[in-house]
């Protein structure tokens, strides 16, 4: 469907999903995604798309953000740019893509919608999306209001829809890829793991922290305002968590959770500069690789993992 070599997707990430990373993932045989919300305006998105095209001739996608935002998101205008630039694949995330679907299907887009529940996966299929990404509670960013992990969530969705299902939340290596395929997924989405690559456009301080972190170094905040987000554990996220436990209103939280503050983290290396998305798979990251090295490593690990499983199954049979 996506005309890619490996079933590995770099999910759309605010501030991080830019041309160098997206192009590197696509060039290595996966599917890279740039985030339209990061670019803010249609013309800036056009420029970023053209940067990707200058770096790779392989398929890539653009994320359209449907989450509530303090600033308007001109998705209709973004779609016009995608049509002009002959982009064929769209990832939608956040609220239902229902309002965008007529225009997207009119222009022949392949639409992949990210969901965090079985109910939303079924609804997305009814709207006509071509595939769904299901994220479990391990995922960085928005895991939804439930606390169900990928191990249970993935097969539930696979059993509930007839369109391709892509697994997200907790994946970082070949063992994870094999586990996702065995549970019925067609592939995996990774965000956190791709942040810790040489092409990711973020400060080395952030990448070094990710290598040293473990699976306990994230926290889910913003439950009180109905928009849960798994982020790195730092001074800001600890303060947000404390305020929420004391019943803070959204007005009190906004100065701390605004996405603009994440720029201090990503681009200045100030690890306590703001909140920033990070999944539990950070505990599995041991080194900073190029994207090409990472994807090759994942594929190699997947083959080794599969051979190991087959050997164990043979021993069980005998």
For the chain, the domains span 8-203, 218-277
**Over the stretch 12-64, which tens digit does the pLDDT of each residue have?**
999 999 999 999 999 999 999 999 999 989 999 999 999 999 999 999 999 99
| pLDDT for the residue numbered 104 | 97
Q: Could you tell me whether strands 165-168 and 131-135 are parallel, antiparallel, or unpaired per DSSP bridges?
A: parallel
CATH 3.20.20.70 for domain 8-203, yes or no, is: yes
| pLDDT for the residue numbered 249 | 87
- The helix-helix angle for 19-27 and 42-55 (nearest 10°) equals 40
The CB density around residue 37, as the number of other CB atoms within 10 Å, is: 24
Q: pLDDT category, 9, cuts 50, 70, 90?
A: very high
Q: For a pLDDT cut of 90, what percent of the chain falls above it?
A: 90
Average pLDDT, integer, range 171-175: 98
pLDDT at 238 over 80: yes
pLDDT at 248 over 80: yes
Residue 310: CB partners within 8 Å, gap ≥ 6?
none
| pLDDT for the residue numbered 57 | 97
Measure Cα distances from 49 to 19, 54, 296, 301 in Å: 7, 9, 25, 32
Measure Cα distances from 62 to 37, 38, 45, 88, 119 in Å: 10, 11, 9, 9, 25
pLDDT at 105 over 90: yes
Average pLDDT across the chain, whole number: 95
**Over the stretch 112-170, which tens digit does the pLDDT of each residue have?**
999 999 999 999 999 999 999 999 999 999 998 889 999 999 999 999 999 999 999 99
Average pLDDT, integer, range 299-316: 94
For residues 310 and 312, give the distance between their C-alpha atoms in angstroms, rounded to a whole number: 5
For residues 120 and 271, give the distance between their C-alpha atoms in angstroms, rounded to a whole number: 34
Whose tokens are 């339209």? That residue is 36
Four-point Cα dihedral 155, 157, 160, 165, nearest 10: -100
| pLDDT for the residue numbered 318 | 67
**Over the stretch 179-225, which tens digit does the pLDDT of each residue have?**
999 999 999 999 999 999 999 999 999 999 999 999 999 999 999 88
For residues 105 and 110, give the distance between their C-alpha atoms in angstroms, rounded to a whole number: 8
Q: Write phi, then psi, for 36 (nearest 5 degrees).
A: -65, -35
For residues 10 and 17, give the distance between their C-alpha atoms in angstroms, rounded to a whole number: 8
């Amino acid at each position: 469907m996506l005309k890619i070599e490996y079933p590995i997707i770099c999910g759309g990430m605010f501030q991080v999903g830019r041309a160098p990373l997206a192009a590197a993932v696509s060039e290595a045989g996966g599917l890279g995604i740039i985030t339209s919300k990061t670019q803010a305006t249609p013309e800036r998105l056009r420029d970023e798309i053209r940067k990707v095209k200058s770096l790779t001739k392989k398929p890539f996608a653009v994320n359209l953000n449907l989450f509530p935002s303090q600033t308007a998101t001109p998705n209709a205008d973004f779609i016009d740019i995608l049509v002009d630039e002959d982009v064929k694949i769209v990832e939608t995330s956040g609220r239902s893509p229902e309002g965008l679907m007529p225009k997207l299907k009119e222009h022949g887009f392949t639409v992949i919608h990210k969901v965090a529940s079985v109910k939303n996966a079924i609804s997305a299929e009814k709207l006509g999306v071509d595939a769904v990404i299901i994220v479990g509670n391990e995922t960085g960013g928005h895991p939804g209001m439930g606390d169900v992990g990928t191990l249970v969530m993935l097969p539930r969705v696979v059993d509930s829809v007839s369109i391709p299902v892509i697994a997200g939340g907790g994946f970082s290596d070949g063992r994870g890829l094999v586990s996702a395929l065995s549970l019925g997924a067609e592939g995996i989405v990774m965000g956190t793991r791709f942040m810790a690559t040489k092409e990711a456009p973020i400060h080395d301080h952030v990448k070094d922290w990710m290598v040293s972190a473990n699976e306990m170094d994230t926290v889910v905040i913003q439950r009180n305002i109905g928009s849960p987000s798994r982020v790195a554990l730092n001074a800001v996220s600890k303060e947000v968590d404390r305020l929420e436990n004391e019943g803070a209103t959204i007005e009190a939280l906004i100065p701390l959770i605004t996405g603009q503050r994440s720029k201090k983290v990503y681009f200045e290396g100030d690890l306590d500069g703001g909140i920033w998305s990070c999944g539990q798979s950070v505990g599995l990251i041991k080194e900073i690789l190029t994207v090409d090295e990472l994807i090759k490593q994942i594929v190699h690990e997947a083959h080794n993992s599969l051979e190991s499983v087959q050997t164990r199954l043979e021993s069980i049979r005998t």
